[in-house]
Amino acid sequence: MSEKTENGKCPPEARSHQRRKAPLVEKMESGKSKKAVVLFSGGLDSTTALYWTADQGYQPHCLVIDYGQKHRRELQSAQRIAGYLRFPCRVIRCELPWGGSALLDKDTPIPKGRTYNEIGAGIPSTYVPARNTLFLSFALSWAEAIAAGAIVIGANQLDWSGYPDCREDFFNVFEKTMQAGTKAGVDGNPVRILTPLLKMTKAEIIRLGSRLGVPFEWTWSCYQGGETPCQECDSCLLRAKGFQEAGTSYVAGH
């Protein structure tokens, strides 16, 4: 595991879109004392969760994890957005050499063209073994080190791909483990897991993000790399469904 950016911070980028930045900067400069570690991938959900965190009065600390996924595209989006917002950001590398997922294994194709019923049935090959267990553990370590009171994750269990570590009961159990296994928890100051998007539809997430000023065009949802989204993988299809049901024009990431 290693940090990938100088001094553990994401580089500042993208100085346009000042209309989006102003409200969050004002909140950051208003003397907030609460800290939260945000598991941040640069996707639509995690970016909306990041903006929600700032809107709730927290000082977001972005944790971006390179777990050896097939492409770097989402990592680039995460660094771009975090750098633009000037939030503290750590990019760490935690490769999973044993694979076990279509997002990791070069020879395992990523499912394409599935119906929404097929997407919601069963656990797909894009599930990464115990990914959120690992991610939450890293986030917990950083949170306890900086005395942050919360971890924020943009998990969703409605318009989703059926991942078992995106369910409410998983987060409830893991939070109890965090309380029992950390100094902060034993001392009566447990770190909480906040899942603001867990019970929202994708359309509701997009409406929330629109209200908060999320730059959807900078987010990346596609499981494939490349210059433009494939529009065929489960994540692309769910994104398109969300914009359609939200009654707003579709915004592709780039």
Span 163-217, pLDDT tens digits? 999 999 999 999 999 999 999 999 999 999 999 999 999 999 999 999 999 999 9
Say what the pLDDT of residue 5 is: 43
| Neighbouring residues of 65: CB distance < 8 A, sequence distance ≥ 6 | 39, 41, 91, 92, 93, 94, 134, 135, 138
Q: 225 vs 123, which has greater pLDDT?
A: 123
Closest by alpha carbon to 98, among 68, 135, 74?
68
Mean pLDDT of 104-109: 94
pLDDT(32) > 50: no
Domains of the chain in sequence order: 6-12+29-246 (3.40.50.620)
pLDDT(8) > 60: no
pLDDT(34) > 90: yes
Q: What are phi and psi of 198, to 5 degrees?
A: -55, -40
Say what the pLDDT of residue 237 is: 94
Distance CA 205, CA 223 (A): 19
DSSP 21-50: HHHHHHHHTT---EEEEEE--SSHHHHHHH
Arithmetic mean of pLDDT over the chain: 89
User: Which CA distances in Å does 109 have to 29, 106, 132, 170, 228?
Assistant: 46, 8, 22, 28, 18
